[in-house]
Amino acid sequence: MKLIKVNNEYIKEIEEFKKELIEANSSCDGCSLLQEYDDIHEWINWVSSLESIIYSKDEPNVVPTVQYILVENDRILGMFNLHLICSSIFKEYGGHIEYVIRPSERRKGYGVEGLKLLLGECKKFHFDEIEVTSLSSNEGALKTIQNNGGIFKEDFIYDNHSFKRYIIPLYFTVSNKRYEIIKYLGKGKGGYSYLASENDKLVTLKKIHHEPCSYYNFGDKIQAEKLDYNRIQQTGVRVPKMILIDEVKEIIIKEYIDGPTIKELIDRGENIDKYIPQVQEMARLCYNKNLNIDYYPTNFVVNNDLLYYIDYECNVYSDEWNLENWGLSTWKK
């Protein structure tokens, strides 16, 4: 699978893609008005000219744009466009990116993979972050954004429809150091985690969020992270080192522990029995300090056959949330 700029080599495939969109009565977002062109050559010339167009506030609908196609085995799976400038209209509604997946290829993860590839292209244009929006009712598009590390910004109404706005970070500056986002790792109750790089050194970057959690209350999340890190260190449980913390930006930089999570191993059908004694030992160490940790399998990474608890969250011990009564039940497929 690859994401490439539109070119004349794919004229036949573009025609078939357009036909399928129209027959399915599909949205053509991300196609740069493909549906309005009978001659594909003319459309290719049009989108090629968009890259270098001079933006004018008098035409806020026309901005410098790069048109991409998502291709696998010479079949077009989707189209993506990247607006290099967010005019007032795109700032209000559309964001930097629009895309559409071929109707016959939807619900196969191509939106997630295509957006991931496009974020790599965005770095070539020196973006620090990308703004994207979606209809609140479009669960597929929302998951595509969220699975690429989109940080929820706000709900808004446009043309009597409900939308959600997200920011997808490409770089963070923390304590005068610039961190490039390599990969989205996941979202927890307290923040979004990313694999990041600073001068070729890999780290985990956690951006605190303040989205509500119905079953847990942190209070001051950044202070809770600091407190929990100090408490968990005293237990002897293996955790990544905290490298730095920016309380103003609410960002934490941790040591990156490479390896699969227990959840990933479970999903792949691998036997995790050999790691049970290690998590039991962690539970014993925590019990000695009157603590529970979050035993959910996404919070544990295997590196060189050693188990690491990669979260810092810990709470006063209770039987209800200990390993035996709750934790191990989640370590099953």
- Least Cα distance to 31 among 117, 110, 98, 86 occurs for 98
Phi, psi of 191 (to 5 degrees): -175, 175
The model's pLDDT over 59-117, given as tens digits with 9 standing for 90+, comes to 666 789 999 999 999 999 999 999 998 766 777 778 999 999 999 999 999 999 999 99
Do the bridges between strand 201-208 and strand 291-293 make them parallel or antiparallel, or are there none, so unpaired?
A: unpaired
Q: Is 218 helix (H, G, I), strand (E, B) or coil?
A: coil
* Model confidence pTM above 0.85: yes
| Lowest-confidence pick of 31-45, 85-99, 268-282 | 85-99
- Least Cα distance to 120 among 77, 75, 180, 65 occurs for 180
Give me the pLDDT at residue 59, please: 66
| Lowest-confidence pick of 1-10, 49-58, 130-139 | 49-58
Phi, psi of 256 (to 5 degrees): -95, 125
Give me the pLDDT at residue 203, please: 98
For 262-279, give the DSSP string.
HHHHHHTT---GGGHHHH
Phi, psi of 179 (to 5 degrees): -110, 125
Give the tokens for residue 198: 């600073």
**Residue 179 burial (CB count, 10 A):** 20
pLDDT range class, residue 119, cuts 50, 70, 90: very high
Give me the pLDDT at residue 60, please: 61
Beta strands in the chain (DSSP E): 2-5, 65-72, 75-83, 97-101, 129-135, 151-158, 161-169, 171-174, 177-187, 191-198, 201-208, 242-246, 251-255, 291-293, 300-303, 306-309, 314-316
56 pLDDT above the threshold of 60: no
The model's pLDDT over 154-210, given as tens digits with 9 standing for 90+, comes to 999 998 999 999 999 999 999 999 999 999 999 988 899 999 999 999 999 999 998
The model's pLDDT over 288-311, given as tens digits with 9 standing for 90+, comes to 999 999 999 999 999 999 999 999
Give me the pLDDT at residue 150, please: 97
Average predicted confidence (pLDDT) for the chain: 93
pLDDT above 90: percentage of residues in the chain: 87
Give me the pLDDT at residue 212, please: 77
Where do we find the tokens 């994401």?
A: 3
Report d(CA 3, CA 114) in Å as an integer: 7
